[in-house]
Structure 1
C-alpha cells in the first residue's frame, strides 16, 4: 500500500511542478515589459439577417482578448445600433447587433465596425434581399429540395440493379472498381469542402486540425467496428456502408443548398439543385455494386435510398437555419472519415472475391477506378 502511494506521488509530481511554474508566471509575469505595437482584435460577422428596415447581425470575437465595438457605420455613414448583451464581446463570445436601416431591395451595402482601439472590421452585402424566415412552409420546401437532390436521384441509380445482376464476375469487379473511383472523388470533394468551412471558422476554435482529427477518428472507429462485427465482408453490409457514407456526404450538399437559400441566393440554390441531382444519380450505381450476387428485398432498396439520400433533407433544414461554419466543417469531416473507411472495405471485399482468373489490380479494375473518377468529375462540373 505504501509503495502504491509513492507510485501515485511520482506520477503527480510533474503536474504539481508544472502548476507551480504556471503560478509563478501568472504572479510575476514573464519579465518582458514591452507592449505590443498595435492591439490585436478580430471581430467576425458570423450571421447577417435582413429583415424589413433592419440589419440583424451576429458577431463573434475570435481575437486573443475581449473587444469593444465603439461605432457602427453603414456605407461610411455613422449609424445607431444596439448590441446585446453588451458592446464588449469576450474572447470567443458572441453578441447580437441590430441596426435599424431603411435598406432598399437589390442595393449593395457595406457595414463597418470600429472598435475602441480604432480597428475597423467590414462586411459587404452585394445585393440586399430579405432573408427567408423559417416556417412550416419553408421547412416543407426545404424537405422537397432535399428529396429532389438526395433521395430521388439515388433511387433512380438503384434502378440499375437488374442490369448489374446480368454482369459476370469480371463485370462485377469492374463495377466495384468504378465504385472505388466514385468514393475516392467524394472523399477528396468532402475533405476540401470541410477544409474550406474550417478556414471560415473563427481562428480560436482551431477548426483545421479539428477537421483532420475528426476525420481520422471516424475512420478508425468505423474500421474497428467493422473488424469486430464480422469475419468477412458481405455484399449486403457493404452496400449499407456505402449508402451511409454517401448519406453523410449528401448531408454536406444539403447544408450548401439550405445556406444558399437562407442567404437569399435563390438562383445559386436552384443551380445547386440541378447540379447535385445529376451528380447523385451515379451514387446509386455505387451502392448496388456489391449486390450483384444478392437478392435483397424491396424494403432493403428503400432503406438504401433513404440512408443515402435522406440526409440531404436534414442538411437543407440545418443550412436553412444558417448553420455555423464550424458545425458544417465537423459534419463534413465525419463524412470524409466514413468514406475513407468504405473505400478500404470495398477494396477488401474485392480481394476476397479474387480468383486465379481475376487480378485485383488488373488493368480492367484500374480503368474502372479511373472511369469512376471521371464520371464524378464530369457531373461535378455542372454544380
Structure 2
C-alpha cells in the first residue's frame, strides 16, 4: 500500500503530508457546525495535547536525527543541532515581532506585534497560522531526510510525524473556529478561518523538503531549526494558554497524553 507513496518525489510526499495536516485541521474546524462553545477545561486539555505532540516530535523526529546525522558526517554531534535549534526559536520570535497577532483567550488590547486595525478574528487567525509554519517545515525536512537515506530516517517515519501533527491540528482547528462562532461569526466563515490557518503547512513542507534535498549539508540545521521553532511556540504560547484559566492538572495530563501518542507513532513507524 505504501509502495506508490514511497515512489513519489520527496517534495510531492511533503506536499501530500502537509495537505493531510491541513485536511485534519479542517476536520477539527468543522466542529463549529455542531457546537458554539468549548468548555474551558476541554480547551485547556486540547491545547496541552497539542503541546505534548509538538514536544515529542521536536525530539524524536527532529533533534535526535539531527544529532545522528552530525555524528555520521564526522561533525561535532551537538554543534549543528544547537545552532539550528536556537535559530528556529529566533525565527519565530522575529515573526512574532513583525506579524500582528492575538493569542487565544486574550482581549484584543493584548495583541502582539505592530499596531494594526485588524479585527480580532484576523489577529487570532494570524496567531494560529504563525505556529503552523514550523509544523509544515518539520514535515518537509523529515521527508527530505528520508529521501537522502539519513540514519534511520524513513518515509513511513516522516509520514508518522505528519500524522501526529495532523492529530494535534484537529483540536487547534476547533480552538479557533468555535470561539469565533461564539463571538457572532457565521458558522461557514468561522470554519474558513479555522481551516485556512493551516494552509501554510503544505507550503512550508514543500519548502523544507526542497531545501534539504538541494543543499544536503543544511539537513542537521534544518531538522533542529524546525524543532526549535516548535518548542518556542509550545513554551511561549500553548503551555501558558493551557494553564491560564484553571484545569491545570487536565492541561498537564493532556500534554503527557500528546507526548505519548507522538512518541508511540515515531518509535513504531520510525
Q: TM-score, normalised by structure 1?
A: 0.51
Higher RCO structure (Cα 8 Å, ≥6 apart): 2
Distance 1:272 1:340, change over 3 A: closer
Aligned to 1:151: 19
Distance 1:297 1:370, change over 3 A: same
Structure 1 position 320, deviation (Å): 5.4
The correspondence for 1:194, drawn from 56, 66, 77, is 66
Distance 1:227 1:311, change over 3 A: closer
- List runs of 5+ in structure 2 lacking aligned partners: 1-6, 102-109, 113-122, 182-188
Q: Is the 8 A contact 2:14 2:140 kept in 1?
A: no
Count of equivalent residues: 231
1:182 aligns with 2:71: no
The correspondence for 1:252, drawn from 141, 150, 160, is 141
The correspondence for 2:89, drawn from 210, 219, 231, is 219
Q: TM-score, normalised by structure 2?
A: 0.69
Q: Is the 8 A contact 1:198 1:208 kept in 2?
A: yes
Richer in helix (by share): 2
1:342 aligns with 2:229: no
Aligned partners of 2:128 and 2:18: how far apart in 1? 17
Q: How does 1:1-383 map to 2 (within 5 A)?
A: 141-163=9-31, 166-189=37-60, 190-203=62-75, 206=76, 208-223=78-93, 225-226=95-96, 231-232=110-111, 235-260=124-149, 269=155, 271-272=156-157, 275-276=160-161, 278-285=163-170, 287-288=172-173, 290-291=175-176, 292-294=178-180, 300=193, 303-318=196-211, 323-324=215-216, 326-343=217-234, 344-350=236-242, 354=245, 358-359=246-247, 362-380=248-266, 381-383=268-270
Q: Is the 8 A contact 1:242 1:286 kept in 2?
A: no
Once the two structures are superposed, residues 225-269 of structure 1 have per-residue CA deviations (whole angstroms, 9 ceiling, x without a partner) of: 536756446642331122112112112212123224x9xxxxx54
Distance 1:290 1:227, change over 3 A: farther
Distance 1:219 1:146, change over 3 A: closer
| Aligned Cα root-mean-square deviation (Å) | 3.5
Aligned partners of 1:145 and 1:372: how far apart in 2? 24
Distance 1:142 1:329, change over 3 A: closer
Aligned partners of 1:333 and 1:175: how far apart in 2? 25
Secondary structure of 1:218's aligned partner: helix
Q: Is the 8 A contact 1:242 1:287 kept in 2?
A: no
Q: Is the 8 A contact 1:145 1:273 kept in 2?
A: no
Aligned partners of 2:174 and 2:82: how far apart in 1? 29
- List runs of 5+ in structure 1 lacking aligned partners: 1-138, 263-267
Once the two structures are superposed, residues 113-134 of structure 1 have per-residue CA deviations (whole angstroms, 9 ceiling, x without a partner) of: xxxxxxxxxxxxxxxxxxxxxx
Structure 1 position 329, deviation (Å): 0.7
Q: Which has the larger radius of gyration?
A: 1
